[in-house]
Structure 1
Amino acid sequence: MLYHAHWMDYCFMLLFSEIFSSYIKIQSKDSVAMILMVIWKQIASPIAVNGDASSLDSDVSQWLISDPGNKFCVIDKPYHKSQTKEPAMAVCIDDAAIFGHFNLIAPAQNRGKALIASANPNAWQNTQDLTGPDNHAVVKSLEHVIRADAGNKFIAYNNIPPDVPKVKTKSNSKGVLMMNPNNVDEASWIVHTIPGFPKALTGYVFPPAEIQKGHLFICLTIKKSEIDAIAMALRIATPLIYHNDIPDAEINSRPNLKKLVNGESRLTPPLTATRQISTADGAGLKVIIYSKSEKSKYEIYRRVLVKKLKTNIKVWTTRDKILKSDCRIFNRIIKLVTSPITIGDHASSLESDVSQWLISEQGNKFCVIDKPYHKSQTKEPAMAVCIDDATIFGHFNVIGQNVENCA
């Protein structure tokens, strides 16, 4: 249960890209009446080879493995229609040892990695299948969001809400802010990157299309006194709220929460906000929320985060053709993490990863941002949640150690 004593002070979940790419895996079934049924599966990019990641944008090999059997083949042409008019050759080896190594490179998995404070925060843990309702970290975090409970009421927001087509919003924020409405000081805040998720009070359904992508899911256990500070930051980021069952008495006692649920976003100065909260544990994580409105015209990475953090930053996000790595100003340098990245034995690449996060080069700061490093977000609201913690920073610093050349 969300508020049980065993609940963690924080939980990080990473889901890795399983999107189909261009390495080929063959699955063959029994032939009937001399007609052979062959199913072609394309392996997800990136792949991980003994801890090293490789992605399709920088890998020119072509190979396949059989399913079933122990066959491995290397082919001299890619899986392109154009090669039907060209000569080609494949060399195939039937060997269990060789096959076994390549079969491990890109297994079809619906799992991720979790970092949980109450377990072993010094190591990423493998999750169970995230598409199933079993007792994994995501289901546990959402236990009383996916089904009703008198001890948990919440607002859920998402720019692509579940089962609501063609909604127009400039926000990209996704999350759940929940509390115990009774005389118990229990609350939590979930920040994530998954569109159409979670469905409120109707059971656990992970969007099938999203299991193929890289995502980030953060759950912070907080005290109820922190809710209005979070609501203030959310007001400026103007999220699209698709569910609210928090009692009126709780809402009316928190001015910013009341304005948030009533749609009273702040479109007049100040056009940015900085709010600090901490998690509910005795030591408590220091969390700072930065948000900016669409009226500010600020680019959140350059105009907000690198200035507020007062340090060079390394950023993992998709990037457009306008914004680049920027090394012009000392102690305000923006470096872009190269793709692919490796998290333990999992790999993820920008072509199929929709998370946005950064780490500081000095200090121990990790931030998750709801907008990518695109020029277009200067005209849109945006928000970043930053955590100052050496353990969390250390994990992401290993992930983001390789960066592009900076001009």
Structure 2
Amino acid sequence: MLLKLSKVVLIFHLINLSLSQPSTCRNNDGNVPAQATGKIIHAGAIQSWENSPRPLTDNQGHSFAKTLENVVQTHGSIKFLAYNNVPPGIPNIKTKSNSKGVIIISSAANSAAAWFLTASLLLVQPVIHYNDIPETETAGMPHFKKLAEGQTPIIPPFRSRHTIRTQNAGAPVTVHIYSKSESSKYEIYKKVIVKALKKTIKVWSRNDK
């Protein structure tokens, strides 16, 4: 009882702390979002925003440029779109962690592109922890026998490959489509990809039926 009461007190204490903390949000003071600069607020100091030591494209060891060096400096031709939580166009996802991912596009002549989704493609394989049903009871149940003896085949994710044309006619983009069924009928990112690349791409979806 005391443990439960302490948890309740702790929850109310955390709520009060969260309500009492001042907001650290700040407008950009008229700076254009595309500028390669930023502002930082240091922990433990008086809450005042300071300009980043140098532009993101000028890496002199500061954290801003170091964090994004592979995007803004080392690979200047790489452009990306990052998203989190529920991706656009995918309704009613019920998972412990919603899908998150990155779409990476190269502005170089080869027109390369990649799309990463942090959601696992699971293999459907039952695991039998305990079974004491006698074979006499399952003699006429071939499907049960296969399941109990581990004879159920493992079906890997289905993969198909397609290509799309870009402005570079000699270098089409290869798109790998993964699905948990033989035919992927759901088009993720149709609205986003069509607007960005003016193409329609079918990709793997958790909602395949």
Bin for the TM-score computed over the shorter chain = under 0.3
Larger strand proportion, structure 1 or 2? 1
Higher RCO structure, 1 or 2 (CA under 8 Å, sep 6+): 1
With the length of structure 1 as denominator, give the TM-score of the two structures.
0.16
With the length of structure 2 as denominator, give the TM-score of the two structures.
0.27
Over alpha carbons, which structure has the higher Rg? 2
